[in-house]
Amino acid sequence: MSLLEFLLLLFIAGVCGSLGQAIAGYSRGGCLVSIVVGFIGALLGNWMSAQAGLPELLNVDVGGNSFPVIWSIIGSVVFVVVVGLLTKKR
């Protein structure tokens, strides 16, 4: 995987994490947090789709790695909602 492919993968994860935070209505942190949320959402979303027996939707192949965009957004929403419920409000 080249540097450009890695940066593209980070960008896609950041966009998915940002969308997940926007849908959930809870945002804490900046760009790096959105990237982490996007990757965690991808893992969580893939796991949920495998448990439910649902197909993979809108996979983006970057450098031989497949990134599930739709499941990443859904997983990000679930992750952000859980984090929002577990943390105190200021």
47 within domain boundaries: yes
Sequence-distant (6+) residues with CB within 8 A of 65 are 1, 9
73 within domain boundaries: yes
Residue 60, domain extent? 31-81
| Count of structural domains within the chain | 1
Specify the pTM: 0.86
- 3-61 pLDDT, tens digit per residue, is 998 899 889 889 999 999 999 988 878 889 999 999 999 899 989 999 999 988 888 88
56 within domain boundaries: yes
3-state class of 88 per DSSP?
A: coil
86 within domain boundaries: no
25 within domain boundaries: no
62 within domain boundaries: yes
